[in-house]
């Protein structure tokens, strides 16, 4: 299970994510965001609890997606199946998603909602995933966005499944970062 607390001058988020499933309880104050988080978690087979508040809807949706991406990065097993895809119909909407959780952050897609396109982009980039979303058809914005979230959830379910080997010709990639806070160019230390 990954637990993240993220605070900025615009938002405060506490989130727990488990790829092993469990309770799904988002509380963001935004009914549609809660609906999409519940949908994503259910279709991905995740446990997800979120307590979040923000000054503007855009900041709230974006920062929840960033936090979720970081949490899912922590939940991605070394021997993940890595790839997932899904084609989801929802009434007149039809959306296809392809996903790679192999550490290559990239998003390509176009949704009829800039806010939820940004949600999926922020999720993918912060997770270190490649996410392609293709809207094949659809007139109702709600149906298109929800089909995209459902398809992303189903693709995550496949990609996060633990396999029997590292699914890459490179093998496991390890990275060590040492930063001396006093060095020029080092990230700034948090203010007290």
Give the tens place of pLDDT for each residue, 47-64: 999 999 999 999 999 999
pTM: 0.87
Distance set, CA 67 to CA 22, 154, 162 (Å): 18, 20, 22
- Give yes or no for a contact between 153 and 88, defined as CB atoms under 8 angstroms apart: no
Alpha-carbon span 61 to 57, nearest angstrom: 6
Q: Helix, strand or coil for residue 104?
A: coil
Give the tens place of pLDDT for each residue, 121-175: 999 999 999 999 999 999 999 999 999 999 999 999 999 999 775 545 556 545 4
93-119 mean pLDDT = 97
Alpha-carbon span 64 to 67, nearest angstrom: 5
User: Judging by DSSP bridges, how do beta strands 93-100 and 83-90 pair with one another?
Assistant: antiparallel
| Structural domains in the chain, sorted by start | 2-159 (3.30.230.40)
3-9 mean pLDDT = 97
- Give yes or no for a contact between 52 and 27, defined as CB atoms under 8 angstroms apart: yes
The end-to-end CA distance of the chain, in Å, is 29
């Amino acid at each position: 299970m990954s637990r993240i607390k993220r605070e900025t001058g615009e938002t405060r988020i506490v989130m727990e994510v488990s790829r092993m499933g469990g309770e799904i309880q988002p509380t963001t104050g935004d009914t549609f965001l809660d609906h999409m988080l519940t949908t994503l978690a259910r279709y991905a087979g995740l446990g997800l609890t979120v307590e979040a508040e923000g000054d503007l809807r855009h900041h709230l949706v974006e920062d929840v997606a960033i936090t979720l991406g970081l949490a899912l990065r922590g939940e991605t097993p070394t021997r993940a199946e890595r790839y997932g895809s899904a084609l989801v119909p929802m009434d007149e909407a039809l959306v296809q998603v392809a996903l790679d959780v192999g550490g290559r952050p990239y998003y390509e897609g176009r949704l009829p909602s800039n806010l939820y396109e940004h949600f999926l982009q922020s999720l993918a980039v912060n997770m270190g995933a490649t996410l392609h979303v293709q809207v094949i058809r659809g007139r109702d914005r709600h149906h298109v966005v929800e089909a995209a979230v459902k398809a992303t959830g189903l693709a995550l379910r496949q990609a996060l499944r633990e396999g029997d080997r590292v699914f890459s010709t490179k093998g496991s990639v390890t990275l060590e970062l040492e930063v001396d806070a006093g060095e020029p160019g080092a990230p700034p230390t948090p203010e007290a």
